């Protein structure tokens, strides 16, 4: 695909002028005939220019991929990371899921909402901050957490630390996060999500795991808990085991069971096999016991089978009113009801 093979509509033309080279680079990552798979990063690419997925962005994605706008809109409205209306320079997300909520996440969100004068998915008048309450942000060990443009900004947040964070952002500052990469604008983050490297100094965090994350390991070391025969320096296998190696243990187990069930060598019978037990299917064994030589048809469960003799008047009255069930038809079956008549 080249810029000469796509004729853009007036709605998509402005974005195509800015984004087409990057869009073609994204599409080239996918096999021929699979260009539709590029839709997700293309939607992020659109947000680098507009800060959200506008109708023009939908048109651009549809036309560059050769699909219709309904298909693009279905994806853009499904994922929450695609914003359908203008979003602030900084998207501040407060986790209000279970653990963060228990530890004060809802209080953090409520205080921020009151301080900023906006609610969920709303943007401050200066265009700096868009606030949202989020589901799990995958940092339960640091709960409650606040992210800025999907980067962790405040761990174990309080209303005071969260308010201090947004005030700095509104003043044009870039506060250092408690953990993670240096904060960037939402448009900068969308460029990374589209699959392009961010060349900013400190764009990629390279710090150690924090104490909460390592708490389980620390407790295990303190109490001498370890996995038996585990060597932490064992290299990670880079290739999948062959089918033979992968199933070796399972096959060996099955073989051992079969050997034990079929034969065993006993003293005085060297070289001869003897039965070690009945390994037949229980249903097969029952059928053979009922009709050892299969000389007569099995009447179990049929209407011809000899019925038990009632032992008292009440039982006799009950069995007399019951229709035989040996025909295999459920109670209330239409055909059987007609036969009964």
CATH 1.10.10 in the chain, residues? 10-76
Give the pLDDT confidence score for residue 298 in this predicted structure: 55
Answer whether 152's CB lies under 8 Å from 205's CB: no
CA 250 to centroid of chain Cα atoms: 29
Q: Say how far apart CA 250 and CA 246 lie, in whole Å.
A: 8
Give the pLDDT confidence score for residue 303 in this predicted structure: 52
Structure tokens at 90: 């900084």
Residue 250's φ and ψ, nearest 5 degrees, are -65, -45
- Angle formed at CA 127 by CA 188 and CA 133, multiple of 5 degrees: 80
Q: Say how far apart CA 248 and CA 265 lie, in whole Å.
A: 25
Q: Say how far apart CA 246 and CA 234 lie, in whole Å.
A: 19
DSSP state of 28: T
Q: Say how far apart CA 75 and CA 192 lie, in whole Å.
A: 19
Structure tokens at 219: 């407790």
Q: Per-residue pLDDT for the chain (341 aa), expressed as one digit of tens each? A: 444 467 899 999 999 999 999 999 999 999 988 999 999 999 999 999 989 999 999 999 999 999 999 999 999 999 999 999 999 999 999 999 999 999 999 999 999 999 999 999 999 999 999 999 998 999 999 999 999 999 889 999 999 999 999 999 999 998 888 777 788 899 999 999 999 987 777 666 655 667 888 888 888 888 888 877 777 777 767 665 555 554 555 544 544 554 454 444 444 444 444 444 555 666 676 767 766 666 666 555 555 556 667 777 877 777 777 665 555 544 454 554 455 55
Give the pLDDT confidence score for residue 164 in this predicted structure: 95
Give the pLDDT confidence score for residue 216 in this predicted structure: 86
- Angle formed at CA 155 by CA 151 and CA 161, multiple of 5 degrees: 105
Three-class SS state of 122: strand
Give the pLDDT confidence score for residue 279 in this predicted structure: 59
DSSP string computed for 148-189:
ETTEEEESS--HHHHHHHHHHHHTT--PPPSSSSPP--HHHH
Residues in the chain: 341
Q: Say how far apart CA 36 and CA 267 lie, in whole Å.
A: 71
Per-residue b or e along 92-104, where b marks 16 or more CB atoms closer than 10 Å to that residue's CB: bbbbbbeebbebb
pTM equals: 0.62
CA 321 to centroid of chain Cα atoms: 55
Considering Cα of 239, then 243, then 244, then 249, what sign does the dihedral take? positive
For residue 300, give the nearest of 289, 311, 310 by alpha carbon.
289
- Is the domain defined by 10-76 classed in CATH 1.10.10? yes
Q: What is the number of helices (H) and of strands (E) in the chain?
A: 13, 5
Three-class SS state of 46: helix
For residue 116, give the nearest of 164, 157, 155, 178 by alpha carbon.
164
Q: Say how far apart CA 82 and CA 57 lie, in whole Å.
A: 11
Q: What is the pLDDT of residues 299-339, one digit of tens each?
A: 555 555 566 677 778 777 777 776 655 555 444 545 544 55
CATH 3.40.30.10 in the chain, residues? 90-186
Structure tokens at 226: 């370890």
CATH architecture assignment, domain 90-186:
3-Layer(aba) Sandwich (3.40)
């Amino acid at each position: 695909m080249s810029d000469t093979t796509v004729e853009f509509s007036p709605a998509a033309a402005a974005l195509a002028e800015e984004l087409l080279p990057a869009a073609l680079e994204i599409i080239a990552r996918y096999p021929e005939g699979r260009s539709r798979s590029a839709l997700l990063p293309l939607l992020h690419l659109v947000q680098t220019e507009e800060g959200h997925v506008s109708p023009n962005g939908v048109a651009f994605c549809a036309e560059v991929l050769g699909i219709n706008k309904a298909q693009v809109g279905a994806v853009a409205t499904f994922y929450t990371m695609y914003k359908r209306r203008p979003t602030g320079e900084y998207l501040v997300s407060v986790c209000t899921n279970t653990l963060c909520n228990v530890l004060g996440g809802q209080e953090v969100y409520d205080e921020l909402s009151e301080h900023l004068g906006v609610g969920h998915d709303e943007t401050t008048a200066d265009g700096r901050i868009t606030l949202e309450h989020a589901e799990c942000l995958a940092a339960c060990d640091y709960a409650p957490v606040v992210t800025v443009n999907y980067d962790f900004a405040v761990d174990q947040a309080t209303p005071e630390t969260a308010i201090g964070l947004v005030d700095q952002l509104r003043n044009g500052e870039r506060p250092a996060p408690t953990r993670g990469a240096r904060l960037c604008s939402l448009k900068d983050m969308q460029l990374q999500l589209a699959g392009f490297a961010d060349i900013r100094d400190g764009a990629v965090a390279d710090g150690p795991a924090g104490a909460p994350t390592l708490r389980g390991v620390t407790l295990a070391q303190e109490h001498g808990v370890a996995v038996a025969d585990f060597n932490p320096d064992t290299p990670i296998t880079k290739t999948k085991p062959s089918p033979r190696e992968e199933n070796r243990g399972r096959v060996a187990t099955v073989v051992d069971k079969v050997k034990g069930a079929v034969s065993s060598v006993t003293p005085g019978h060297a070289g001869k096999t003897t039965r070690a037990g009945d390994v037949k299917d229980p249903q097969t064994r029952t059928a053979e016991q009922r009709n050892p030589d299969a000389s007569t048809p099995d009447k179990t469960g049929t209407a011809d089978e000899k019925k038990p003799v009632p032992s008292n008047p009440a039982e006799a009255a009950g069995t007399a009113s019951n229709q035989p069930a040996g025909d295999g038809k459920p109670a209330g079956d239409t055909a059987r009801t007609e036969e009964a008549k």
